[in-house]
Structure 1
Amino acid sequence: MDLLTYKETDGLRLGVRTAAGVLDVGAAAEKLTASPHTAAPATLQQLFDGGDTALASLQSLVNEAEGDRSLFKEEAGLTLGPCVPNPGKIICIGLNYRRHAEETNMPIPAYPILFNKFANALAAHGEDVPLPRSSEKIDYEAELAIVIGKTAKYVGKDEALDYVFGYCTANDLSARDLQSRTSQWLAGKSCDKFAPLGPYLVTRDEVANPNDLAISCKVNGELRQNSNTSDMIFNCEEIVSYISQCMTLEPGDVILTGTPEGVVLGYPPEKQVYLQHGDVVTIEIQRLGALTNRMVTE
């Protein structure tokens, strides 16, 4: 199932992308009042909290709505929100692609490198991203994002993916000059709208193997990153398991799993041209869709 959020006058609404268009979940639940649908989640957080029962109810609602055109919207006419609009935590993994570590002359980490972003960093597909006045070196980073579906604490690698709700495309935008001022990367990673997510949150059952997905980044149509999640040093199972040893993961938490080679930071200094006003960045991951944002002067 491909889930998304979109903006209406009353706030963000939950939608399901289908061949017929985007199902307005709230409108469908109100109109289709048969008992299986009364518990259909109206928001993404309700879906996370309701677990498999809520997901099954939502699928039932989608099936029942087929044929009623009044319940579907044209995706092109929607203003999307972040596909996960209210994560409790945004946890990021640094230097998690072998060739990216090599291009930046950094040692291969023995353990996943954890840092974080906050809610101010969230942005949607199609949303402009402001280039902060405090930085002159804004970089793109194509990333696979894991979205947690069940509370996870001390889970083993063999069961870790059972705790995943789904996956989405992300851009871990980074202000390299702010990032490199200290040993802690936070300042360069948590600028406003530096974590675009979307356009879709794709449920786990639709992704056969998250550790074997094509991933790419284009800037103004020019291919900059072109890799596969199979190059990750720590795969999705290892990441979820490791973080759960450090802290409790809750439904709706987002994990950004690292970026492949091809970032501006990896170029020789004389060839480093960082993002500028008007640049359009598109991150695309196999099965998960393409996430596009335009950079604008703050």
Structure 2
Amino acid sequence: MRLVTFKDGRGTRVGALDAAGQVLDITAVDAGLPTDMVGLIAAGAVAAAQAAAAKAPVVAGATLLAPIPRTPKNIFCVGKNYHEHAKEFAGSGFDGGAKDVVPPFPVVFSKPHTSIIANGEPILSAMDPTGGLDYEGELGVVIGTGGRGISKADALKHVFGYTIVNDVTARHLQRRHSQWILGKGLDTFAPMGPAILTADECPDPTKLVLTTWLNGDQRQHAPVSDLIFDIPTLVEAISAAITLEPGDVIATGTPAGVGIGFNPPRFMKAGDVVRIEVPGIGILENPVA
């Protein structure tokens, strides 16, 4: 099942997508379902949502929001987590003098919830006055059952589902500040969506494949199986010190093919359109304004 957050004339609530991509109003069928995504995740209400979706009406004129418009904490993001991207980043001059091409441990930073936007909403290029705007298509892992000290063996039991995140980056700011949050956490720099594919529909996330296009030109294409640190490793590493909560999101890293990988770099500009697809989850597409 693909779950979404949407709004219409009656307000904002959770829904599901049918096979044609139409929004189904699951809370109209089951008034006991939470109307917000974090609440639904915390309640463990997948089965009830599935049952409601089978009878739910289509919502005319629904507008999709990010599936989790406000995450419980900052989005956890992982840098240099595909082998080929680690190499291209090390050779780009934007890596701040890091000694290891492939990091020995996960590189984790964060993006605040104020950076989250929905499918179709504009990425604001003016937020980056330095002209180094770049895209990073990534698989997002949505935490279901929270916890601290989660083991790799148990990690996937704590995953609610999967979404798409664009880790938009101001490359010159990323290099200037060394710590990446001021280059990556700007407003509108975390497009997310369009939906959450529930984990029961995806028992093996390594079979997912991510592709990114800029203005119709394919830039990234890689299976999730190419991750340096897989999803269980990331859940274990983060939860070793930070309690994960229902609705927390981990952006797992981006494959090779980002703008700084070209010589000279090919940065985004106003008028561009970036499109990221993971079959099963859907398409996250945002214009650059």
Aligned to 1:58: 49
Distance 1:42 1:179 in 2: 37
Aligned to 2:88: 103
Task: Tell whether the 8 Å contact from 2:18 to 2:24 is kept in structure 1 after alignment.
Answer: yes
Alpha-carbon RMSD: 1.5
Distance 1:6 1:172 in 2: 22
Aligned to 2:140: 145
**Residue number among 185, 194, 206 corresponding to 2:180 in the alignment:** 185
3-state SS of paired residue (2:206): coil
Aligned length: 277
Aligned to 1:35: none
Task: Tell whether the 8 Å contact from 1:16 to 1:23 is kept in structure 2 after alignment.
Answer: yes
Unaligned ranges ≥5, structure 1: 31-38
3-state SS of paired residue (1:283): strand
- Deviations 1:133-184 (Å, cap 9, x if unpaired)? 5231000001000000011210110110100000001100000000000320
Distance 1:193 1:225 in 2: 21
Decide which structure has the larger Cα Rg and report it. 1
3-state SS of paired residue (1:114): strand
Aligned to 2:96: none
Q: Which amino acid aligns with 2:72?
A: G
- Deviations 1:31-87 (Å, cap 9, x if unpaired)? xxxxxxxx3232212211212xx2222222223x16xxxx2125xx43210011121
Counting only pairs closer than 5 Å after superposition, residues 263-278 of structure 1 correspond to structure 2 as 263-268=258-263, 270=264, 272-278=265-271
3-state SS of paired residue (1:87): coil
Task: Tell whether the 8 Å contact from 1:218 to 1:282 is kept in structure 2 after alignment.
Answer: yes
Cα drift, residue 116 of structure 1: 0.3
Task: Tell whether the 8 Å contact from 2:2 to 2:196 is kept in structure 1 after alignment.
Answer: yes
Task: Tell whether the 8 Å contact from 2:81 to 2:228 is kept in structure 1 after alignment.
Answer: yes
TM-score (norm: length of structure 1):
0.89
Distance 1:156 1:239 in 2: 10
Distance 1:176 1:166 in 2: 30
TM-score (norm: length of structure 2):
0.91
Aligned to 2:30: 29
Cα drift, residue 10 of structure 1: 5.1
The runs of at least 4 consecutive aligned structure 1 residues that moved more than 6 Å come to: none
Aligned to 2:116: 122
Of stretches 129-138 and 278-287 in structure 1, the one that deviates more from structure 2 is: 129-138
Q: Which amino acid aligns with 2:155?
A: A
Aligned to 1:279: 272
- Deviations 1:171-200 (Å, cap 9, x if unpaired)? 000000000003201110001111111111
3-state SS of paired residue (2:64): coil
Distance 2:18 2:282 in 1: 14
3-state SS of paired residue (1:85): coil
Aligned to 1:79: 63
Q: Which amino acid aligns with 2:282?
A: G
Counting only pairs closer than 5 Å after superposition, residues 1-298 of structure 1 correspond to structure 2 as 1-9=1-9, 11-19=11-19, 21-30=22-31, 39-51=32-44, 54-63=45-54, 65=55, 71-74=57-60, 77-89=61-73, 90-105=75-90, 107-131=101-125, 132-268=127-263, 270=264, 272-296=265-289
Task: Tell whether the 8 Å contact from 2:167 to 2:191 is kept in structure 1 after alignment.
Answer: yes
Task: Tell whether the 8 Å contact from 1:84 to 1:201 is kept in structure 2 after alignment.
Answer: no
3-state SS of paired residue (2:266): coil
Q: Which amino acid aligns with 2:271?
A: G
Task: Tell whether the 8 Å contact from 1:40 to 1:61 is kept in structure 2 after alignment.
Answer: no
Distance 2:206 2:83 in 1: 14
Cα drift, residue 231 of structure 1: 1.2
Q: Which amino acid aligns with 2:130?
A: S
Distance 1:276 1:78 in 2: 29
Aligned to 2:95: none
Task: Tell whether the 8 Å contact from 1:144 to 1:256 is kept in structure 2 after alignment.
Answer: yes
Cα drift, residue 292 of structure 1: 0.1
Task: Tell whether the 8 Å contact from 1:148 to 1:249 is kept in structure 2 after alignment.
Answer: yes
Q: Which amino acid aligns with 1:73?
A: V
